[in-house]
Amino acid sequence: MPVTLRPAHPDDIDAVLELWATSAENRSRPADTRAAVAAQLDRDPAALILATDRAGGAGPGVEQVVGSIIVGWDGWRCHVYRLAVRPERRRQGVGQALIAAAEQRARAVGATRIDAMVLADNDSGQAVWRATGFDQQADWRRWVKPLRDG
Ligand SMILES: CC(C)(COP(=O)(O)OP(=O)(O)OC[C@H]1O[C@@H](n2cnc3c(N)ncnc32)[C@H](O)[C@@H]1OP(=O)(O)O)[C@@H](O)C(=O)NCCC(=O)NCCS
């Protein structure tokens, strides 16, 4: 079953939070909240891209969110967050399609580079970036300062 890719809108927030709670990589990052997703959609409505279908758990004909990716554009580079695909829809090309959509958006806004952070022991995460033409930068370290509870 092919998926439809589309930007998220405020009506999707509950479905997005449910997708991330059940299907995303959730360690070592700030908690997802309604307010945070709403603020993200308000700030950059094209950044959160959803993969949806009309089969499976939600019932025949009902749209279900099966995957997501955030491609953030800060005017300098594009950084990707929250790539997630429902377990029952994995290894069907959904992740690859979301990454292609993120890359398309990055090119459209004029970004010269796109990057993603993946936990070192997340084998499927590492594999999907490798499979889609990303290279690991072993000579960099990430430095982080939480500003609230992140
Ligand atoms: C990582 C994730 C998004 C991949 O989504 P997906 O829809 O299954 O990916 P695709 O079907 O598009 O896979 C594309 C390619 O990536 C590689 N790949 C993806 N998952 C893999 C796995 N579990 N093991 C090995 N290779 C994998 C393969 O090369 C695959 O091509 P193939 O199926 O023809 O062999 C999904 O497993 C997921 O949501 N995981 C939990 C959340 C997460 O870890 N997100 C990434 C954080 S950055």
Q: Answer whether 109 contacts ligand 1 (Cβ < 6 A).
A: no
Judge residue 53's burial from the number of C-beta atoms within 10 Å of its C-beta, 0-12 exposed, 13-18 middle, 19 or more buried.
Answer: buried
Ligand 1 pocket check for 41: Cβ under 6 Å: no
- Region label for 134, one of left (φ > 0), alpha (ψ between -120 and 50) or beta (otherwise): beta
pTM score:
0.96
Nearest-CA residue for atom 17 of ligand 1: 128
**Gap between the Cα atoms of 1 and 44, Å rounded:** 29
Q: Is the beta carbon of 3 within 6 A of some atom in ligand 1?
A: no
Query: Is the model's pLDDT at 97 over the cut of 80?
Result: yes
Residue range 25-68, pLDDT digits in tens: 999 999 999 999 999 999 999 999 999 999 766 677 889 999 99
End-to-end CA distance of the chain: 37
Question: Residue 97 C-alpha to ligand 1 middle, in angstroms?
Answer: 11
